[in-house]
Structure 1
């Protein structure tokens, strides 16, 4: 039976992204929007961890219920907080084990799920987001062990942010990624990143790929974000 991660959030896009990441790592995700659902699932033997989105209106009720039921400490519970959140003390008192800052770095989340803590390491050896394997889409190939990229058979030198952006696109092709999800995947820090900065880095990455492939592999989806489109290219 797969370990279950209980996710309490009222943000559909955020839930979809986390569910995609966690299921790729072998977890089952159970969405719970009501406090009594979270509390009930916290006591289930298959529950591996709980993720609480602090943007949810019912966070206080959930925290009080977990504390009242003496469930804290039995399984790891992480609060997903904004960069400027002032609720850290309240969350600690409620029994939260860890605060993970949004936009969320996938490797940091996976480290918490595997160890119950985040030590500040990048977690490069964790699961699908850091294994020593090769990713291939179109003419693009990334070797995660050597941190190298080849496009159309030629080496491509990328800065760390460009590398992580490309890695994320190759891991999830044909999916529209918002700027916030790209920030979470590539910047991996707690500082705020202007969405326009994402556009600049995407432009550089797109230009680098175009110089070797002869076409734009990364497509802009108006008002939504960016995607690496492989289906249309393969069908030509």
Structure 2
């Protein structure tokens, strides 16, 4: 298994290190990335970034060019020189849009370069492309469990050949379950992943959306794939309750 494959792991959401000193931008990036299925951690300067990259072994680094204490270019060079971090994909983020700056960033070891301002959707697309190049097959956009297939790119779910129509919240719930089949998640964990850390929602709201997901997934003759674990939470599983 490659080092990148080891970082991602089977069924594990990619961990992204966001290296940026603008607090508002960090908050925006983390919110959007976590909504799109990534885990995140952040560093506000180059020295902290090098330490976290070595300790946490992220799947990808989003690296701002202009940083306190050490430039993003120098951080990139040091990451490439360190045997423990040299293979981590790096995307540089910068307000410097000149072609010469882009070439300099790529020559320092970055895998891609994105000029500010940028859209979160473009950033996520660039990230997925870089991860696919780093480790083909580990960023599959089609998830499968039993007779259910989930096409993340087309935003389509099918079971036994029939289309399953889901609302946005039920889609995110099912995606999370299908990324971690068999694992039990509490209501609080599901709230953090699906609704976000900064959104207040009653834990019982999870039950409402689980019922909707079950109704959409299961016809009369089909097995219920959502297992309720008393006093613990829910899991995508074929075992009986």
What TM-score comes out, normalization by structure 2 length? Answer: 0.49
Matched with 2:206 is 198
Structure 2 gaps, min length 5: 43-59, 65-92, 94-117, 132-137
> Who is 2:62 aligned against?
115
> Who is 1:15 aligned against?
none
What is the correspondence of 1:143-182 to structure 2 with a 5 Å cutoff? 143-182=151-190
- Secondary structure of the 1:190 match is coil
Deviates further, 181-190 or 109-118: 109-118
Tell me which residue corresponds to 1:24: 12
CA distance 1:214–1:220, shift in 2 (3 Å)? same
- Write out per-residue CA displacement over residues 157-177 of structure 1, whole angstroms, 9 at most, x where no aligned residue: 100110111111111001001
Q: Name the CA distance, whole Å, in 2 between partners of 1:197 and 1:183.
A: 9
List aligned pairs for 1:71-82, cutoff 5 A.
76=19
Q: Is the 8 A contact 2:143 2:150 kept in 1?
A: yes
Q: Does 1:138 align with 2:138?
A: no
Q: Is the 8 A contact 1:221 1:227 kept in 2?
A: yes
- CA deviations 1:169-214 (Å, max 9, x no partner) are 1110010011122123322473211111111000110111112762
Deviation at 1:77, TM superposition (A): 8.4
Structure 2 distance, partners of 1:177, 1:115, is: 29
Instruction: Report if aligned partners of 1:152, 1:212 keep a CA contact under 8 Å in 2.
Output: no
Mark the runs of 5 or more structure 1 residues left unpaired by the alignment: 4-18, 28-47, 50-74, 79-91
Map of 1:35 onto structure 2: none
Work out whether residues 182 and 198 of structure 1, in 8 Å CA contact, stay in contact via their aligned partners in 2: yes
Equivalent position to 2:193, from 185, 189, 192: 185
Supply the distance in 1 between the matched residues of 2:8 and 2:204 (Cα, whole angstroms): 25
Q: Do 2:185 and 2:234's aligned partners in 1 also have CA atoms closer than 8 Å?
A: yes
After superposition, the Cα gap between the structure-2 partners of 1:184 and 1:105, relative to the gap in structure 1 and judged at 3 Å, is farther
Aligned length: 154
Give secondary structure in 2 for the equivalent of 1:183.
Answer: helix
